[in-house]
Structure 1
Amino acid sequence: MRLRSEQKNAIIEKLQDYYYTEHEKELGIIGAENLYDFFMKNCAPLIYDLAIEDAQGVILQQFESVREDIEVLKKR
């Protein structure tokens, strides 16, 4: 998964802010980029797959609703 440069930079800033808030220490740009790379490699694919599964569930529910509406319209 690739993000735009400004999105990546925003996440890196949030990581640095979080680290400072939690540990009262500065997290340098290299450390923050390494942490970002770790999450993108190990966590992002799992989160992406869960989002796809959620979207699939919504689409299947909508399809079922449309199918039920069509059945009501049939003249028997």
Structure 2
Amino acid sequence: MVSVSSNRKPAAHCAIGELALDARQGRIGVVMDTLGGRMYLRRPEGGREWEASPHDVRPATPAEWADGGAREAYGWKGLV
């Protein structure tokens, strides 16, 4: 049996719990899970999950964190 919510990185090189950019939708989200070749993300401040193709998802840069509001949600204090 294989767990889809393990800490291994999916095809898009984003780990579960990592902030990522869904380039197709232009949204920053936290990778919640992967299942059936799809990724599930949720806004850092909460809300409804959305589904994305791993080909459209990549790790978010610090500048994107700030632009997407994730800085406040995650308490990130680094320089942008």
Same fold (TM over 0.5): no
Question: Which of the pair is proportionally richer in helix?
Answer: 1
User: Which category of TM-score, normalised to the shorter sequence, fits these structures?
Assistant: under 0.3
Question: Which of the pair is proportionally richer in strand?
Answer: 2
| TM-score normalised over the length of structure 2 | 0.25
| TM-score normalised over the length of structure 1 | 0.26
